[in-house]
Amino acid sequence: MQDTLTKLKNRDKEIQLLSHTIALLGWDQETCIPEKSVNERAEQISLVEGLIHDRVTSEDTGELFSLLGADERNPAGAPGLSGNDAAFIREFYRIYKKRMKLPKELVTEFAKVTSLAQAKWAEARSKSEFGIFAPLLERIVDLTRKKADCMGYSLDPYDPLLDDFEPWMKNSELASIFGKLEPELSALAVRIAEKSGRVAPVAVDGEFDERKQREISESIMKMMGFDFGSGRIDVSAHPFTATLGSKDVRITTRYITSDPVSNVYSTIHETGHALYEQGFGDELYGTLLANGASMGLHESQSRLWENMIGRSRGFSARILSLLKDAFPAEFANVTPGDFYTRMINRVKPSFIRTESDEVTYNLHIILRYNLETRLVRGELAVADLPAAWKAESRKLLGIEPSNDSDGALQDIHWSFGSIGYFPTYALGNLYSAQFYAKLVEDVPDADGESGSFADDTIADILCWLREKIHSRGCTLTAADLCGKVTDAPLDPNFFMCYLERKYGDIYGL
Amino acid sequence: MQDTLTKLKNRDKEIQLLSHTIALLGWDQETCIPEKSVNERAEQISLVEGLIHDRVTSEDTGELFSLLGADERNPAGAPGLSGNDAAFIREFYRIYKKRMKLPKELVTEFAKVTSLAQAKWAEARSKSEFGIFAPLLERIVDLTRKKADCMGYSLDPYDPLLDDFEPWMKNSELASIFGKLEPELSALAVRIAEKSGRVAPVAVDGEFDERKQREISESIMKMMGFDFGSGRIDVSAHPFTATLGSKDVRITTRYITSDPVSNVYSTIHETGHALYEQGFGDELYGTLLANGASMGLHESQSRLWENMIGRSRGFSARILSLLKDAFPAEFANVTPGDFYTRMINRVKPSFIRTESDEVTYNLHIILRYNLETRLVRGELAVADLPAAWKAESRKLLGIEPSNDSDGALQDIHWSFGSIGYFPTYALGNLYSAQFYAKLVEDVPDADGESGSFADDTIADILCWLREKIHSRGCTLTAADLCGKVTDAPLDPNFFMCYLERKYGDIYGL
């Protein structure tokens, strides 16, 4: 048994080394690559992806799982395996099983169509012409439905798709969470809208030097505990976090010279992701268990730092000092109160998800979720998507975009074929609030309203996250981890309470 | 036949994609990697190297060669194959044959020992204690001799080693070239030394801003015709050129704040390498023929730009203007004549190869060649190397280093196991002078003494190099290419004539 397990671990080690190599190929593509090399880079990535696929699905991988007693009924292998070993088999077998069910032609076809689709989506969006993207999106929806059919499901074709990003969660659970969340969020948004006059926006004017913005990013990362010995920060068009090795976690940002606050919160967000990746237990080094428990869990780590901590009174006062040090003239008249209330926590329905506030953000997600589940079930035709988007937007946000660039063409995700991804953003917000409530019990100074955010407190917060969440990697499923950390299953009520308290105060509800 | 060839080409394509992936892993290691990730990076590289090895040596690669009629007697396959196809088989079969002869244990052992040796070499060098490095160098020499035995040779164990870097050249030819070169070079060096009082050194003082140095690098690269759409420049401890894709050629440099001239000539040198890589014919795209004909040929392209062009009166006057524009105060009193004679073309025997001038450089190489051939033949024990180095240095350069850091521990190459590499530096110098003589016949304005180096002339030079050399990749062997371009076999006389003319003028010989 131990021998077989070692063989499976060696197989996994190769896969992890190759996955990190793909991460480097991808990171370099977003940060460094010369323009003429993009097509060949796609070939390099696709070749290495094929090597991973071969290793996951090879006959002897299957034999190893048989020998370990892993099957549909015992996804974590035969009884008697210890915690991390069982978790290792559970996660590896989950991936193996899904990959085995996908015919190689479908995988190749999917890769081809989505690679074409990205360029078409960009063109369609820039021209705001949905028709340019529609034929490819039809192919993508069609292939996604085929994928779901191949992977199999008992109730809902959305289940295996969601599982790609939020392992082990079923759509029935998600639907029930969103069903509870939506009316409460909408009601809160309406109450805030009625008081919107209370909070007039404040903006800063000027040309904010990139070098100084970069220094602010680095100060924040150091303050949060990012280890520059095993990571770095670079620039890309869209910020992201990439793991190129067990000790190589890189974030990116972009510096907008007219707006130094954008980079600040993007850096906090990505550093939140990066701290998770830098915090996996040493015993998980180089294995598939050195991964986030789910995309939602991962997002909870970025959002907890970005919103619960980063947009709190105490922490945002520290951010403001950094901004005042770097740009004294421009921020001279901004008080901590103004910064908190009128710059970083204003609530205002907008068309664009990435620019939206904490209150309306999840409504943007529910909008996309409502549409993509209907697409997958064949209840909505791609041709009808733009109109359906507008209708959902009016229903959920009370506003309707005038063009498709701000509507059905807004996000890149569907062009990647990432159907089932959007909900993890909302789950991240919900998890973050639930973790945060527990964190404040254990580390009272982490409280957003009254807490101190001295260096010691920040260190205590990271320490708590490391112990309770980061160090565990994906040894526990997201649901088990949530239960273990908070003594409760995922419950949107934590998030609503957090919002009620914070925005009740700001808007005098 | 065509079918078989296509299969072999597909195999090669995978190998090229993987080789470029390794180039990215290596480039990133020298330019970006966080310190704690270095060990895991070595594992990533070694895994991908193993994948290439498997592809080169797999049984069906061998079958493809049989079907194509390639064997020891017909290394370019059966008669009837066209030029590039025959060249493709010739180069692939050469690599295949050598790899097949090396037992995997020897390859692994070699990789392990050299990986340890690099750290030990660095330690030994910093302490100037040869004893720290000696045991590992003994292992390396031993394994290298085994490698040579496995690969096989008819006369000289140095032949298969040299062939790794200078394909198709035999040591008998090299020995005869060096035998002719050495006395003539030594005699010239002595004549110059007698006149050394004629040329007093000039130096600039100051703190030279890195950003401005970088701008100078970019100006020079643009001036030389480097395509930034398929390449870039970064910083690393030791400058190098790397090819990460057919359209992705990157150079590195280092900015010494006390010496802006160092970066300038390093940039010209690496850009010379990069222009070769950017100039391979489109029909060679993504194949193994999109490679330099040999390391010597590659070095000829860097040295031609660095020395024949870059250190000429005309071109160096342009360089000086760039330096004066960036650092007007510091370079105020430097005339073009001073820059040419007293800063960039002074001849002075030194201990260090990388700091040596055009006249003595090849003597440094002959020194290393004399020692490494004796090591390989078992005529010199590693323990006796430091003393032998000093003796050779006195004989060839007339000076003797007082410590091993400046002697037998000077270069990193042997710690990599790169025995057979050094001669390619000297070959590069010889090829460059021979090509240059022909270039000046066809493009008279490229003449160093009297030519103009206007943008048009530089474009003409690149055009000539592209047509005669770059576009051909390694479709021709280095010897055939030299014959085709210059109507003569490699002859050190071209190099000696170049030196006599240039330094005869400077030193009034």
Helix or strand (DSSP H, E) at A290: none
Radius of gyration of chain A from Cα atoms? 23
Min Cα distance B11 → chain A (Å) is 12
Min Cα distance A45 → chain B (Å) is 9
What is the percentage of chain A residues whose pLDDT exceeds 90? 92
Looking up tokens 């850096």 gives: A267
DSSP β-bridge partners for residue B249: B231, B243
Closest Cβ opposite residue B34 in set A24, A51, A228: A228
Find out whether A386 and A344 touch, Cβ atoms under 8 Å.
Answer: no
Radius of gyration of chain B from Cα atoms? 23
Residue A112 has a pLDDT of 87
Comparing alpha-carbon positions, the chain A residue that sits nearest to B43 is A17
Closest Cβ opposite residue A247 in set B14, B36, B227: B36
Residue B455 has a pLDDT of 95
Closest Cβ opposite residue B48 in set A21, A43, A246: A21
Phi, psi of B45 (to 5 degrees): -65, -45
Residue B72 has a pLDDT of 85
CA dist B384 and B368 (Å) reads 14
Min Cα distance A290 → chain B (Å) is 14
- pLDDT of A57 > 90? The answer is yes
Give all strands of the β-sheet with A231-235 in edge-to-edge order: A231-235, A248-253, A241-245
CA dist B425 and B365 (Å) reads 7
B247, A37: Cβ pair inside 8 Å?
yes
Closest Cβ opposite residue A32 in set B35, B37, B232: B232
Task: Please give the average per-residue pLDDT across A302-313, as a whole number.
Answer: 97
What is the percentage of chain B residues whose pLDDT exceeds 70? 100
Chain B residues 75-104 with CB within 8 Å of chain A: none
Residue of A21, A49, A230, A287 to mutate, testing the B interface (most B Cβ within 10 Å of its Cβ) = A21
DSSP β-bridge partners for residue B241: B251
Write out chain B residues lying below 8 Å of A233, CB-based. none
- pLDDT of A329 > 90? The answer is yes
Residue A1 has a pLDDT of 82
Residue of B24, B52, B211, B235 to mutate, testing the A interface (most A Cβ within 10 Å of its Cβ) = B24
Task: Please give the average per-residue pLDDT across B449-475, as a whole number.
Answer: 95
* Confidence bin at A157 (pLDDT 50/70/90): very high
Decide if A20 touches B, using CB distance below 8 A.
yes
CA dist A191 and A90 (Å) reads 45
* Confidence bin at B73 (pLDDT 50/70/90): confident
Task: Please give the average per-residue pLDDT across B319-326, as a whole number.
Answer: 98
Write out chain A residues lying below 8 Å of B18, CB-based. 47
Catalytic, out of B91, B182, B270, B277: B270
Residue B474 has a pLDDT of 97
| Weakest-pLDDT range from A142-151, A195-204, B78-87, B413-422 | B78-87
The one-letter code for the residue type at A29 is Q
Decide if A45 touches B, using CB distance below 8 A.
no
Decide if A18 touches B, using CB distance below 8 A.
yes
A-B interface: how many C-beta pairs under 8 angstroms? 93
A40, B247: Cβ pair inside 8 Å?
yes
Decide if A228 touches B, using CB distance below 8 A.
yes
Q: ipTM of the assembly?
A: 0.94
Chain B residues 233-262 with CB within 8 Å of chain A: 244-248
What's the mean per-residue pLDDT of chain B? Answer: 95
Looking up tokens 């350069």 gives: B397
Catalytic, out of A166, A182, A270, A392: A270
* Confidence bin at A173 (pLDDT 50/70/90): very high
What's the mean per-residue pLDDT of chain A? Answer: 95
Residue B77 has a pLDDT of 84
B24, A25: Cβ pair inside 8 Å?
yes
Looking up tokens 């359209």 gives: B247
Min Cα distance A483 → chain B (Å) is 34
B40, A248: Cβ pair inside 8 Å?
yes
Find out whether B156 and B172 touch, Cβ atoms under 8 Å.
Answer: yes
Find out whether B24 and B36 touch, Cβ atoms under 8 Å.
Answer: no
* Confidence bin at A72 (pLDDT 50/70/90): confident
Task: Please give the average per-residue pLDDT across B285-313, as a whole number.
Answer: 97
User: Could you give the 3-state DSSP secondary structure of residue A232?
Assistant: strand
| Weakest-pLDDT range from A70-79, B156-165, B361-370 | A70-79
Write out chain A residues lying below 8 Å of B21, CB-based. 21, 25, 44, 48
- pLDDT of A279 > 90? The answer is yes
Decide if B32 touches A, using CB distance below 8 A.
yes
Residue A74 has a pLDDT of 86
Decide if A328 touches B, using CB distance below 8 A.
no
Looking up tokens 């009740």 gives: A504
Task: Please give the average per-residue pLDDT across A121-129, as a whole number.
Answer: 95
Decide if B24 touches A, using CB distance below 8 A.
yes
Comparing alpha-carbon positions, the chain A residue that sits nearest to B249 is A34
Phi, psi of B349 (to 5 degrees): -60, 135
Q: Which two tokens stand for residue A160?
A: 């295996």
* Confidence bin at B40 (pLDDT 50/70/90): very high
Residue of B18, B19, B37, B282 to mutate, testing the A interface (most A Cβ within 10 Å of its Cβ) = B37
Residue B350: CB partners within 8 Å, gap ≥ 6? B356, B360, B399
Decide if B232 touches A, using CB distance below 8 A.
yes
| Weakest-pLDDT range from A5-9, A448-452, A465-469 | A448-452
Residue B108 has a pLDDT of 86
- pLDDT of B497 > 90? The answer is yes
Residue A336, number of CB atoms within 10 A of its CB: 15
Closest CA to A307 of A266, A260, A336: A266
- pLDDT of A356 > 90? The answer is yes
* Confidence bin at A456 (pLDDT 50/70/90): very high
* Confidence bin at B111 (pLDDT 50/70/90): confident
In B128-209, which residue ranges form alpha helices assigned H by DSSP?
Answer: 130-151, 158-165, 171-194
Min Cα distance A459 → chain B (Å) is 22
Active site residue A449: no
- pLDDT of A76 > 90? The answer is no
B47, A230: Cβ pair inside 8 Å?
no
- pLDDT of A73 > 90? The answer is no
Residue of B16, B25, B32, B226 to mutate, testing the A interface (most A Cβ within 10 Å of its Cβ) = B32
CA dist B488 and B424 (Å) reads 19
Comparing alpha-carbon positions, the chain B residue that sits nearest to A231 is B34
